[in-house]
Amino acid sequence: MTDRAWFDAAKGDIPQWAASMPKDADGTTIDWDWVRSLDLAHGVGTIPESTPQSIHDALKADYATRERLESIIAQCNSAFMTDFDRFIGSYRLPRALAYANRRLNDNINTLLHLGEQQHLWVVSRERRGRTTVAVLRPYSGSRPSNDDQGMLNLSGETGDASAGNTAAENSDVKFPTTVALDDVQDRTAAILDARAERRKAQRFQKRAGDAAMARANLSGATSPGGAALPGGAAASGNATGHHPKPDWRDAYLPGRDVDAVMGIDIETTGIDPARDYIIDVGFEFMNMASPRPAGEPETYAYEQGYYAAGDAYGQSRLAFGVPPENAALGNALIAKLTGIDVRGRSSEAGYRLFDEWPQAQAGLLARLTQQPYVAHNATFEHSWFMLNVAGYAESYRAGRITIIDTLPMSRQWDPGAVPTNEHPYGDSTLDAYAKRQGALDSAHNERHLGLEDSHIMLVAMKHHLAALKAQRKGPWGSTGRAGVGGKSCGRKR
């Protein structure tokens, strides 16, 4: 169990947030009194009676609560990072909201499954735009197959019922299936698409304004927005004739003086840090330029016997759990991808949850601030740390954290990452990047475990930097940066 006092402290921050963030990510005025009324520590979901209408009404209420919570959480990062006068002192309120939202999401999935068991609907998980949503359809008499969820017996019955039957089939009670489905459909995809369209319109408006200012300025080429990027599209300094356009991720590229770094990779139960859980963290250290520190152990046994530690040191693997409700549902997709079966990772089985373990968060934060940390598609890890690690957001905003990303290294400096029909932006997955850089042989694939993926990432990065230095490309090219590079906030470069 976690210390619940921090939830009260988080609510104590509401006046700071209310003054700086009156509206949520959808432009709706936030009812901060409603936020204050929520029991963040013990749950904001609805527990229904086992009747069709009660299950329907509980699901409808939980969807509405989740939409309100997530629209607030989605705005918090922008409000916090642009709070230049530091009215908001802590990021613990968004972390508390995300904590509650994860449990609410578990409750929603439990209700979805309960409805299936009682033949109220059939659930399919479908990709819609930017996300995957649960789509409900009327029950047709045949039991659905769903690879994304395990089986959960919510009937409370035991006995000789066959494993293939649902709880409703095993029960003497037969429920009618006349509940409405239109008002209990997951609206997440539509909400995200609408937000993206608003952001697109705002960017277009800004560009149009900048262009108008440039035209009005008699100096022409030297006006804001009027000058082309020095060096044109080739300014990224690619090692070959392939010149990808500059990208916002380029801020995460390393500099030519980068040396000691920590590579980190996390495995999670899904892709949304406000809905899902961190279940595996792996990290290790490696020096990109200086010798490996003396006195460090010479060998380390990775899961893959063909991995050699090489210059890596300080390896660590951390395993975390999920709430009983999440474990009961299972997660076949994550089990197949990582080999981690969350059904055996319940907190009741002795696994501690990362978002309920302050000591684990503090230990990880100490490591993240000691030197730059490296991740492949680092914005993923960053978003999870923001909503899971106490003190991370504050440290990042203060400039105490530097992030390096090997994904833009692959996109900008790797000749093998040229766009193809299959990969319009180039194949820059960790698996492909590691193989091109000699960190993973073609007979094996990325393991999707934190430590092993951190290892091949750092080995690939070191090989890549050595090749770029020899060619005077990348950080050592005309557009390369001095220093360690990477992305950080709150200080000048």
Q: What is the pLDDT of residues 334-382, one digit of tens each?
A: 999 999 999 999 999 999 999 999 999 999 999 999 999 999 999 999 9
User: At residue 383, does pLDDT exceed 70?
Assistant: yes
Supply the pLDDT for residue 165: 38
pLDDT digits (tens, 9 = 90+) for 136-182: 999 987 554 444 443 333 333 333 333 333 334 444 444 455 789 99
Structure tokens at 471: 């060619």
The pLDDT tens digits for 439-478 are 888 777 778 888 999 999 999 999 999 999 999 999 999 9
Q: Which amino acid, 368?
A: L
CA distance 38 to 493: 42
Question: What would the two tokens of residue 371 be?
Answer: 């030197």
Q: Give the containing element (helix H, strand E) for 37.
A: helix 32-37
- Higher pLDDT: 393 or 213? It is 393
Per-residue pLDDT, 130: 83
Average pLDDT, the chain: 86
pLDDT digits (tens, 9 = 90+) for 262-299: 999 999 999 999 999 999 999 999 999 999 998 888 77
Tell me, what DSSP letter sits at residue 314? E
The H-assigned helical ranges of 82-174 are 92-117, 167-170
Map tokens 């380390």 to a residue. Answer: 300
User: In 303-416, which ranges are continuous DSSP H helix?
Assistant: 324-329, 332-338, 358-368, 378-388, 392-397, 406-413
The tokens describing 459, both together, are 């080995």
pLDDT of residue 491: 53
Nearest of 171, 65, 162 to residue 114 by alpha carbon = 171
The per-residue pLDDT for range 38-70, each reduced to its tens digit, is 999 999 999 888 899 999 999 999 999 999 999
Q: Rounded CA gap, 219 and 223, in Å? A: 6
Q: What is the DSSP letter of 42?
A: T
Running DSSP on this structure, what letter comes out for residue 426? -
Q: Which of 217, 202, 219, 333 is nearest to 279 (CA)?
A: 333
